Chain A
């Protein structure tokens, strides 16, 4: 076995170690440890990605001395390595961009607790990405939930405590449903390992036994993960959680935490239940309808919002709707578009959150649009970055959002009966996106004389450089999308 193949296991355990050590360190050292760990894991995931592209085959890694159905195992393929690399980079950039706000908004004695949460969140995300066992997935879903809750309430104001409570209730409901679904799957198949369950389910479907419980199980698992990733009717926890927590938390929650659950759902589709069985069940049509509803309703709510952070949060609801709509199409290409949208939305949404905080900082920390007038002149980098993010969200060519919308449209054309609604809603949603994002961009570039200070680039170097990195990432995703799409396609082929 090559040494590179140890990297998934190393990166999970390394981030756990980092969180354990952070509890003994002070805030500053914990921050450096976290940055170092993120860089190391990004490098390891990059190496793994190159290795896997070279071999062209996924592999399973035994976590211990016993092979799969008895012991634990994790599995790494191109898609997993790509996601791990990408999640680490986004997390690193989000933390760097919100660094000054963590310092200001978190009690200095509790900063190390913040990094405990971040590190364990990272380990759970990596475990959700690499896992090949449903029970391991459930354990790390638990860790993910608790640490996300900690990230929300680390800034202690009334609104964040309320948001964290809401998040906890909704998210635990999701966990409970997921556990119920897993129990029923175990009862029907007698396995927890993904590949074994898939083999048993093929037998079950062929024999025609357990049709009802199987359908219920698929439904429960889909609803559970939809609640956790804030699909439209279950999104009520989202705006407060993203709108009032400290900005790094908001960026990480919107771009990584919900995406981790969606990735788990894709994994369950492909590796547990089997894509054909999922497509033949009617559950996928419900996801499709909810996705479409989310695309419209999220945007409508965002238009009505008068608070820039909450507006971006509602825009997340719309984008999650896109992803589920891609699932609902029921084709390989639809899933491919969804996975690309996971990546592109993560890059864009964290950019928007980080840029918006720069704009509110030069407007006396007020988040209403009336105060933001002309903020783009007062903090030029943030204004520019926000414009790029908005253009990408609306779907202007050259930026990542355009590519994902194009992929969705292509996927829709390949289906017979879902083409028309998808294309219509896609067009309507694009117009609605343009309404609220362009409104904001025009607002921040309206010249006005105010008493608010101007912040030059020299005064916020780390912040500015982070935003530039985000912009570069976005443009790369938009301009050189084909290699990434090819990687995702080969990764999805490895899944099956």
Chain B
């Protein structure tokens, strides 16, 4: 080596400083550059504006009726065409209805042997003093079973849309929903304290007397459901969950529908195959009478009550 440098000289060279910095022993900016935390850029609003920009253009150009002549024409055409269509349709229906027999006349085609048998023999054949209940639960039991399944499937559909699985999220949804409502309202709680038991008892009465007096499973169940909704809005979900939570709901719903289905299949099978009915009809007028109508009313009632409450709870907090 012809040109050896001493250590001091070498330390002054750029190469030494570079390798020194490169190996990480020295921070070149330390004590030389003033450091501040970076100020946050007001980026959010810009991006929102940018995002809205395209949309605004669409709104301005496409939906601005002053500039977009086609849209204007279409909207006007649409409004006029729909009005004309509705008028024509209403006219056709009115003309058709005017040819139909007048309501309430004794000569009408629907006063035939069907309703005659319901009215004259309904009591003996079904054991129900309330002919309507006897008709829907006994004569046309299959339709009513289908109708109960409509309620069941409606709850399932709402569950698909609104059900939330995490408990925390449910609480936050509920809080968000009730932000502007008074919590633990004393007036509501006192009124609910008096009213809820009465509503429950009346609902149970209507269900149990479905074969004796107007009412039945559908109306009684709706009452009980309304009572539960009142209780929930007064006392909150925490208290309600002590006696009616998701598991209770499942058990009540599944057992009511299953027992209803079992009764129905027994009824269909024995009826169609000419096997004797082993469910006694009892004396008409007694509470324990009319064969399978009483249990069916109870099952329908609990299903309807569950459905009503489930709808409310699902819309309120995404779960029971």
Contact = CB atoms under 8 A, between A and B. Distances in A.
A213 B96 contact: yes
A66 B153 contact: no
Given A17-B261, A63-B268, A190 B96 contact: no
Interface string B233-277: 000000000000000001001100110010011011111111001
B153 A116 contact: yes
Contacts of B64: none
B108 to A, nearest CB: 7
B109 A190 contact: yes
Interface stretch (B110-118, B174-182, B198-206): B110-118
A375 B190 CA distance: 69
Given A70-B117, A146-B150, A64 B95 contact: no
Interface in B98-136: 99-101, 108-114, 117-118, 125
B139 A190 contact: no
B50 interface: no
Nearest to B261: A17
B161 interface: yes
A23 B250 contact: yes
A20 B258 contact: yes
B138 interface: yes
A140 B100 contact: no
Given A109-B163, A189-B109, A9 B268 contact: yes
A70 B159 contact: no
B57 interface: no
Interface stretch (B10-18, B28-36, B141-149, B216-224): B141-149
Contacts of B150: 139, 142-143, 146
B152 interface: yes
Of listed B99, B101, B139, B156, residue having the most chain A CB within 10 A: B156
A200 interface: yes
A460 interface: no
A21 B254 CA distance: 7
Contacts of B97: 184, 213
Chain A: interface secondary structure? helix
Given A13-B264, A191-B112, A135 B143 contact: yes
B160 A153 contact: yes
B125 A139 contact: no
A364 B162 CA distance: 30
Contacts of A107: 165
A57 interface: no
Interface residues of B, number: 56
A446 B153 CA distance: 46
B265 A71 contact: no
Interface residues of A, number: 60
A216 B264 contact: no
A63 B138 CA distance: 10
Contact of B272 (A1, A136, A153): A1
Contact of B267 (A65, A154, A200, A213): A65
B157 A216 contact: no
A17 B271 contact: no
A70 B118 contact: yes
A10 B125 CA distance: 25
Interface string A188-230: 1111000000001000000000101100110000000000000
A217 B101 CA distance: 15
A188 B109 contact: yes
A200 B258 CA distance: 39
A49 B94 CA distance: 45
Interface in A136-152: 136, 139-140, 142-143, 146-147, 149-150
A139 B277 contact: no
A64 B138 contact: yes
A187 interface: yes
A72 B149 contact: no
Interface string A362-385: 000000000000000000000000
A127 B139 contact: no
Interface string A389-426: 00000000000000000000000000000000000000
Contact of A187 (B109, B147, B269): B109
Given A184-B96, A213-B97, A65 B277 contact: yes
Interface string A151-187: 0011010000000000000000000000010001011
Interface string A315-329: 000000000000000
A110 interface: yes
Contact of A150 (B96, B146, B157): B157
Of listed B111, B161, B269, residue having the most chain A CB within 10 A: B161
Given A17-B261, A19-B149, A65-B270, 17 more contacts: A9-B272, A19-B153, A20-B258, A24-B254, A62-B271, A66-B271, A70-B117, A70-B139, A107-B165, A109-B163, A113-B156, A117-B160, A150-B156, A153-B160, A186-B110, A190-B108, A212-B96
Which 7 pairs between the two chains have the least Cβ-Cβ distance? A190-B109, A190-B110, A216-B96, A65-B271, A72-B142, A139-B146, A63-B142
16 contacts: A1-B273, A6-B272, A13-B261, A13-B268, A17-B261, A20-B254, A65-B267, A70-B118, A72-B142, A117-B160, A147-B157, A153-B161, A184-B96, A210-B100, A213-B97, A213-B99
